[in-house]
Structure 1
Amino acid sequence: MAADDIDAFLKGLAARWQPASRKVICTSLRSYFRFRALLGDDTRRLSASLPAIANWPRRHPPKVLTDSQIEHFLHAFDRTDPVGLRDHAIARCLLDLGLRGDEATHLTLDDLDWRNGTVTLHRTKSQRVQHLPLPVQTGEALAHYLRDGRPQTDSRVLFIRHRAPFGVPLGVAAIRSAMNRAFARCALADQFCNTHVLRRSMATRLQKTGVSIKEIADVLRHRDVNTARVYAR
């Protein structure tokens, strides 16, 4: 094996592999060359020929919905139907509070403080309890769902199944499917899917109104402020 062989091999990978994958290959080759060196082979030139693979994270701004697309998306829910009321309330939580799908599934009736206008999150990714302000439009969507859409049940979980087995909390997959159906109804399924795009859209809207990166990181419950710097792009 010569340096030219390694160069040709990596160039072949470049046509079909992402930079992160090529970086793993280089790391594996370096480990192999160190192993061969322990056996007595001179692998210094081969190791030196391995390139440093550039793989800058978050090179592009996050893909988010525009204001008009958000309006179309929110109108894609049938609010004359109990399931539509539930899914619209979920969408508002994802868009207005920046909730992750898993955080939405664990919301309970006890987490809503109507008097003080706050929502308490107990099951966050960072394992920290966090209190968020409850926007008026989000509160109205939740109240409409609780008053006119939510089935009678002893469950304290906020978002539950409307079909048998009744009263069972919605899972992340069910919430993801509900949002994808809404994207399809408003002809946006070819551009967006799942729930995280709604969280990113909320963060981008905050950035456009002048909210600092630190404040966005706090709202998104990021431990590291650098994780939210992508929205500055």
Structure 2
Amino acid sequence: MKTHTLKYDSTFEGLLTAVFTVYEERLSSVLIVEERFFEANFFSKVNEVFTDESKASRVWEGLKEFQQFRTSVYRSFLSELPDKEVYILDAIRYVLKTRNDKDYGQPSVLKLAQLTKQIGREKHRMKAFVRFKRTKDDVYVAIIEPDFNVLPLIARHFKNRYADQQFVIYDRKRNYGIFYDLNTVELIELDFDDAVLKEALHDEEMHYDKMWQDYFISTGIKSRINKKLHLRHVPKRYWKYLNEKNPL
């Protein structure tokens, strides 16, 4: 029996549509693959899944009673791992069959819980380490490159925290960002690089960087510096976001 490969468009709604297709067509041997990771296989029958909002909604509603698990499904999708769909589909099948979403002895349920924990940690660090810089147009801009696609998870936090200022948070690794215009948050795509940002910065921004660096140095007590502890709480890969570590 050939394996059915369902290729979808890389959106979360597309993934849920593919899950719906598995149940609708009663497929047993099936592999759901994001189009960017798809590789043709002679032993597999390939079907392209076209995103259907109504079908996606039915799957999402079907998981409504398992709120914690449903969160794990979404966050595991944001992990962007090439084989995430294998675990997501297997976990969904298990939970809907057994009505048990907390059986961490089941490998796929456990995997989704582990991914959720990792993504939650990255989300928390992005909230802590994002630094905005003011532009000449009075729009505040922050550049990030998180390990996981956590931008959808932090948008509300920054919208609530900086409700009175326009801002852009741009994920350079994934080439998209969010723009808050004092009313709504919108997804954006830009040609963005450090030279463009530096040219757009407000003239006072460099002075703020210098003041913050001076403050950081003056309040430090050399005899109490614990580099090991510091790196545990502020890993080096986040230093590029911090004015005191890497000013633009």
TM-score after normalising by structure 1: 0.24
